[in-house]
Amino acid sequence: MFKSVLVANRGEIACRVFRTARRMGLRTIAVYSEADAGAPHVQEADEAVLIGPAPARESYLDAKKVLAAAKQTGAEAIHPGYGFLSENAEFAEAVTAAGLVWIGPPPAAIRAMGLKDAAKKLMQDAGVPVTPGYMGEDQSEARLAKEAAATGFPVLIKAVAGGGGKGMKRVDDASDFADALNSAKREAKAAFGDDRVLIEKYVTRPRHIEVQVFGDTLGNVVHLYERDCSLQRRHQKVIEEAPAPGMDAATREAVTSAAIRAAKAVDYVGAGTVEFIADASEGLKADRIWFMEMNTRLQVEHPVTETVTGQDLVEWQLRVAAGEALPLAQEHIGLTGWAMEARLYAEDPAKGFLPSIGPLDHFRLPEDMVRVDTGVEEGGEVSQFYDPMIAKLIASGDTREDAALVLAAACREVEVWPVRTNAAFLARCLEHPDFLSGEVDTGFIPARQDALVSATPSADAFVAALALAAEDAAAALGLPSESDRLSPWQATPDGLYGFRLNAEPSTHHRVEVAGETVTGGARPLVEGEWRWLVEHDGRFEEASIQFEQVLVGERRALSFVRSEDGVVLFDDGAAIEVRESEIAGASAGSAAVSDGSIRSPMPGKIVAVQVAAGQSVEKGRPLVVLEAMKMEHALAAPFDGVVAELNAKVGDQVVDGAVLVKVEAAG
């Protein structure tokens, strides 16, 4: 066994590899960009090397800099994590040429599976069923459009390189094909340096089933059962689980056997995932599952497999890379209970899931309820340069429902500010009756998005906000409290102030909760205590304030923190701003405001401009396309009108809040 390992990656996967490496007595080495100088993975490593500026192409994707760091620190092995250089065959060859141990599959296997069209042809030869479509060399728009029509709409355009939903577009009608193709090619070129695509038949009720495989240098290949990754948004996985719901023994045998055939066809070594698409219109059936692609690396969702099998997959990787045999034979790999993983993203569901960047002034995750894999911490920052996933929450249970409800409860405990997250959205997905009954497919989220993305605060949030307003009014009048702590809106020891609601403590109060004006009465229940009887919407509720929580009746407690403009309540995973209604207004990061200004929701690059000045546009029409955080974001017209200003052109780098287009209302 080698004595040291460098992780050529960042964030939670670097921290994850370090955890196992330390347990095995290995020296750990991190690389980092200027943007990650204070990141947890840097702090956790025994040694760390700065390799360049924030942009990934100048740091984490620069193979020469990574190898120089390995030489500088005396690293004996390199683990690539996932993303970045993990599926780069040239980098794998350079690692071994430098006399280092590559903790990954052979370069030949990476190449064989790295291009989806070539991989599908290889799988056909190996007897693995594949989805119908076009995988030819002719990449002209005319040929691709012809093949899409021959395959039959709907079709899926997919980049032949890479993964993660980038360069992937569903097309339902021939009239939309050209725009979708151009967008897919742009994304693929930006993400992978290769804009070639293939065409696949789109299964109308698909499920995403994948099998974890492992091979060693002695020719042994095993599987560690399947995962279901069907809950997706824009082809990016949101919630994963193991095992797959509705998987019977015959179907499991068919899909795992196919996965092993796929791995053996390329002499696979190390951890890999063989991904399949299943037609779930009549449940999972052995003859209705087709090969999609193979990811030649450890997957983001590997913790659910670790949970149900009781194995440490990173340890398996390290041992196999050192030349050892697989730790277990197939007959000794068990499957126990259920596990689910939720990906916590820095994004705002209420704004079309736009990524949210900035400082993590408040960051609390429910580590006592679930396993948490994260690469950020309070006081850190979510950068525009990297993927917006900030943590993975993994729950387990004896049954699927047990695991789902534990994970939902954990998502509801998430507290993050001022960066927005999808925590409340995740909880709604997990608790949805259709999800709990196992009615899942890749269209689950789009079909229910309005309900899952509900931005309406709960009645408890309104009660809590009015109680906090009443507390502040009481404090302003000098009424005593049962503690010496400050009101969230009172003066702080350094003299800073929040806003004040200087009303009589027994009168009505008016505040703004998540943009909605709320009025209600509040009077003290017991003199000298922070307990209030709150009147809201014709009902009376008791609320008490204890340090950083508002207790609403005997039902539940809502945490809160101070913000620059007032208070932020945490309500079932959602962060809700509470402010004086008079000073409330549109947030600086909104894509469109009432005057028709279309603003950049984050820093990024303009990759398409689809209108001209003076052009008439209808509500919802895409105007410009912004590339940020590895994805494209189309900004649309807020209402019918005319393009009065156009301040964007292709190639522009724009800042957060920049006015890109201004639309004037028609008539």
- Separation in Å, CA 424 to CA 41, 328, 491, 601: 27, 39, 32, 21
- Separation in Å, CA 373 to CA 40, 269, 353, 619: 12, 25, 22, 41
Omega of the bond leading into 154 within 30 degrees of 0 (cis): yes
Q: Hey, is 555 helix, strand or coil?
A: coil
- Check if the beta carbon of residue 140 is closer than 8 Å to that of residue 197: no
Q: Hey, is 385 helix, strand or coil?
A: coil
Which H, E and C letters describe 516-537, residue by residue? EEEEEEEEECCCCCCEEEEEEC
Nearest to 514 by CA among 460, 446, 452: 460
Looking up tokens 């249970």 gives 397
Q: For the chain, what is the total number of helices (H) and then of strands (E)?
A: 16, 39
CA dihedral in degrees (313, 319, 320, 321; nearest 10)? 110
Nearest to 378 by CA among 391, 392, 394, 395: 391
Round to whole Å and give the CA distance between 418 and 456: 19
What would the two tokens of residue 620 be?
């919802």
Q: Hey, is 181 helix, strand or coil?
A: helix
- Separation in Å, CA 472 to CA 462, 466, 480, 553, 568: 16, 10, 12, 20, 15
Catalytic member of 297, 343, 428, 599: 297
Listing DSSP states for 65-107 in one string gives HHHHHHHHHT--EEE--SSTTTT-HHHHHHHHHTT-EE-S--H
Round to whole Å and give the CA distance between 359 and 383: 9
Question: What element of type H or E holds 591?
Answer: none
Round to whole Å and give the CA distance between 222 and 216: 9
Specify the DSSP class assigned to residue 130.
B
Residues 6+ apart with CB under 8 A from 406: 369, 370, 395, 396, 397
Question: Is 297 among the catalytic positions?
Answer: yes
Round to whole Å and give the CA distance between 335 and 211: 13
Residue 331 CB burial class (10 angstroms; 0-12, 13-18, ≥19)? exposed
Round to whole Å and give the CA distance between 548 and 542: 17
Round to whole Å and give the CA distance between 230 and 429: 12
- In this structure, how many other beta carbons lie within 10 angstroms of the beta carbon of residue 152? 11
With residues binned 3-state (H G I as helix, E B as strand, rest as coil), the percentages for the chain, rounded to 5, are: 30, 30, 40
- Check if the beta carbon of residue 278 is closer than 8 Å to that of residue 288: yes
Residues 6+ apart with CB under 8 A from 587: none
Taken in order 641, 643, 647, 651, the sign of the CA dihedral is: positive
> Which residues carry out catalysis?
297
